[in-house]
Structure 1
């Protein structure tokens, strides 16, 4: 039974169509009362970290939403395993057909044909086997015309195209069940067409709004300030500041890339935010990262510290910070401090984004993960002598034979003693299996575990207060654990206006207050309540 509940009091950075990210495709009902939009949210990965891991069944990362045309209220929202390519409202029934899919890059064209019931909100997947769906058109109330991709590469030579057309006639669309459309579909070769054009979809949204529109993107980091303000870093914005009383941001520092990490210096009104040029066409940029130093009172940029390569920022409680190069063959750590980024360099070995992310808030040391031949170690880099001090192996149970990866975490010192609480995952060669994500409390600096909480999905963010550990997951869940023994005190799906959101960042912002940054660009201003049973 839950004893703690987190309530969303304010939603910052919202607005029309915020649920769908960048639009890909749209459709409107024949009477114009509903608009459906298939979109694309920020990929759950950046150059230093991956937060895409979920166990099966995976609800997918690609959003489709249905809006009421009169006031743009989001009525239905779902995510799919593949991006939406085409949408079609049934001409007479309250149904929306959704065609998804894409080429896997090496062999198959996979996707789904989904049917969303606009009364119940239930979605069914109609095809017997996964196939990319490229176009949908209702010819009449019984007949659905489809353009599908060929199943795999070898079919391209056979048909002379990657597209096949067919028509399916049914009188039971309102009683649809999973897998009810079985092959053969009577497909014929069809000329390949240009893919969906996001510019066309954006134009439809702007016509509905009557103004220009730009989507917000993933909030990768949030941080609370003593005065109740909240800092956020996201795509296109190095850092922005929200006050406790205004629905609008107080100031904002634009970026031609993405803000990924934010920390504050303890003795100054100064924020540090790590920014990076956004990757494109599936390739990571090799442009160096930058740490932007910002005045918290005015939002003015004081200086920019430029790294030598793409990097991740690590900090400790006294304000000392460092940059670790995230290139696989590099391993340099540059130690900075209150005087700036001209620091000394330490070699820690290769960094891999799936393995070595280890961001521990409030830590008394600069903490990293370092590999030797067969062990992944938690290490501290001492200043100013650049000594690398091994603390303990990341793995505390060598009998399981798994491969542990790091994650987010925090340092605390309570009645149970000094400790770090950190998240991570166990890899057994088959992706993330149920129960292979974890949050663990470990004595500091010796590493003995005092409790372990296991989960089915990867943790995205973690923070602590005097009593509780707050953890968010890729499933959209928020879990509250008792700090001393890991007992679950609260567990809930995060929702805004009834629709599930995926949290990418979380921070304690005051007594019984949290801020949560979402994949779709919103900042949730939340309060913590103890329930009386």
Structure 2
């Protein structure tokens, strides 16, 4: 389903630099070369995208990024091989990867180029990595597949099984019909194909573009963005980059930026090394030319939040990861997820059934603490009449007021996530709850919660979601809450009632994008940041 959003233009486009983690060029039956490109999913929970493109560029052999995709799908594993049928408009795709433990897993996909329908041919209990494909004739497809695993079999990395699948008419092969018994064949050399390096790559001095983390519109119409590949960039409304503060190995990219009241500089929160549990890093950057004015580090993890008098820091327990962060926009006060105890340091494992009744008194989800000391609170920072707006500091304890538990359901663990104020009395927040399971679908929600002095935090409405929310903003002109989900969907809700107004995917040149940042810029107008380093200028078409 297409979300009712019109993409007026692409303001920032670095998609070419990230195109093609694994790239396979195969000749079509017509003699025209078609390119099948697959790349790593950035921010998506729906697998690996694979696109079919025509008319490759003669200089690079890569498809033009301005050309629409002829077909598009997502697979559970990276692309390894592809082959067009010699006489029919069919294409088979082979995918797979090593799971890091024992197994080589993958799938075989049959794509009908006439109808656009695709079918997964391996049975649900038959996940075999496909290493190469070729048509022996119009009825027989020859596969090289990996052994099921490398348990006591290191040769599995360089050998596989040659298998012939024969059908009278490949257009009628049922989905999920190929079973283990059909995939027996002689053991032959079958080394794993290496992913092709990205084509049309960016300047080698720049890191590979990643997802857009935040978008901020300045009073003059310019845009600040943070992303995995840059700490901070400033772009004009016409799409010209004015300056860039690149990511580096120590700081990583930027998570969020907060413009100071004088509009001459902004603090930016660095993502830091992936998986790091050290302190936080924050840079104040001149908005005129992007020069670094000062740097602030904290001994432990911290998050940047905004208040009416300027940016502040709040403590973030190390080891909790991205789900501890929460961002509330458009409010008079800072809101943060107050976690009073440090993370779990016990020897028990939260996924070990034997520890279900653990009494070690830590705060991991399986070791819940009873009482106020174990509660995660929604805490508000009162404004301060004094202090310099350029100083980045933790607020004094007396300014932090616990309003109510972060989770309105007793004994549930609700993670952090994006949110926005509705006036000065309500919050709209989106997150997922921990339920002891891994994977998707998620159990999550978008909720509106009163935050006035008498409120207990009970939501006035709750809308269920099945993916992790990545961004949220409110269009006051239409009273619409816009929420981006990591699976690639956008949803639009009525801010007063929580009723669904629209949901679906946004397409650019025939390809669904994965929204990771949403910023409303005016009535019915917004900026959309994506997982593939693009910024789109859009307008809503809700009826």
Please classify the TM superposition score into its range, dividing by the shorter chain length.
0.7 to 0.9
Task: Give the aligned partner of residue 196 of structure 1.
Answer: 194
Stretch deviating more after TM superposition (454-463 or 252-261): 252-261
Question: What is the Cα deviation at residue 310 of structure 1?
Answer: 5.4
Structure 2 partner of 1:439? 446
Matched, 1:408 2:418: yes
1:5, 1:159 → 2: CA distance?
48
Q: Distance in 2 between matches of 1:145 and 1:278?
A: 44
Match of 1:63 in 2: 49
1:103 aligns with 2:104: no
Which of 234, 253, 256 is the equivalent residue of 2:227? 234
1:34-83 deviation per Cα after TM superposition (whole angstroms, max 9, x unaligned):
111121243x3xxxxxxx6x6xxxxx331211111256322222221111
Cα offset, 1:278, TM superposition: 4.9
* Separation (CA, whole Å) in 1 of partners of 2:273 and 2:87: 44
Pick from 330, 353, 363: which aligns with 1:362? 330
Describe the SS at the equivalent of 1:174. Answer: helix
Q: How far apart are the structure 2 equivalents of 1:108 and 1:174?
A: 30
Given the alignment of the two structures, is residue 519 of structure 1 paired with residue 531 of structure 2, yes or no?
A: yes
Q: CA deviation at 1:502?
A: 1.0
Matched, 1:318 2:325: no
Q: CA deviation at 1:155?
A: 7.1
Whole-angstrom CA distance in 2 between matches of 1:125 and 1:500: 20
Separation in structure 1 between the aligned mates of residue 266 and residue 205 of structure 2, nearest angstrom: 31
Shift of 1:527: 1.9
SS at match of 1:85: strand
- What do the CA deviations read for 1:308-337 (whole angstroms, capped 9, x no partner)? 455543333431321534522xxxxxxxxx
- Residue of structure 1 equivalent to 2:243: 251
Question: Which residue of 2 is the match for residue 396 of structure 1?
Answer: 408
Q: Deviations over 1:276-321 (max 9, x none)?
A: 3554xxxx24675432322223333333334445554333343132
How far the C-alpha of 1:515 sits from its partner, in A, is 1.0
Matched, 1:172 2:169: yes
Q: 1:215 Cα deviation (Å)?
A: 5.7
1:243 touches 1:250 (CA, 8 Å); kept in 2?
yes
Seen in structure 2, the aligned counterparts of structure 1 residues 365 and 523 have a Cα distance that, compared at 3 Å, is same
Structure-2 change in CA distance of 1:459 and 1:69 (3 Å)? same
Say which SS state the counterpart of residue 101 (structure 1) adopts: strand
Q: How many residues align?
A: 475
TM-score (norm 2): 0.78
Q: 5+ unaligned residues in a row in structure 1: which ranges?
A: 45-51, 55-59, 329-351
Instruction: Classify 1:33/1:163 alpha carbon distance in 2 versus 1 (closer, same or farther; 3 Å).
Output: closer
Deviation sequence 1:239-274 (CA, Å, 0-9, x none): 222322x23323322222322222222332323222
1:161 and 1:465, CA in 2 relative to 1: closer, same or farther beyond 3 A? closer
| Higher share of residues assigned strand | 1
- SS at 2:460's partner residue? strand
For the 8 Å contact 2:443–2:466, the answer to whether it is kept is yes
Match of 1:14 in 2: 13
**Aligned residues: CA RMSD:** 3.2
Paired residue for 2:345? none
Query: Cα distance, 1:474 vs. partner?
Result: 2.1
Matched, 1:386 2:397: yes
Contact 1:159 1:189 in 2 (8 A): no
Quickly say closer, same or farther: Cα 1:316–1:5, change in 2 above 3 A: farther
- What displacement does 1:213 show? 11
Partner deviation per Cα, 1:316-362 (whole Å, 9 max, x = no partner)? 3431321534522xxxxxxxxxxxxxxxxxxxxxxx12642222123
Unmatched 5+ stretches in structure 2: 58-63, 342-368, 383-393
Residue 152 (str. 1) matches residue 149 (str. 2): yes
CA contact (8 A) 1:38 1:85 kept: no
Q: Deviations over 1:114-168 (max 9, x none)?
A: 1222222221111122222222233333332222222234473797966333222
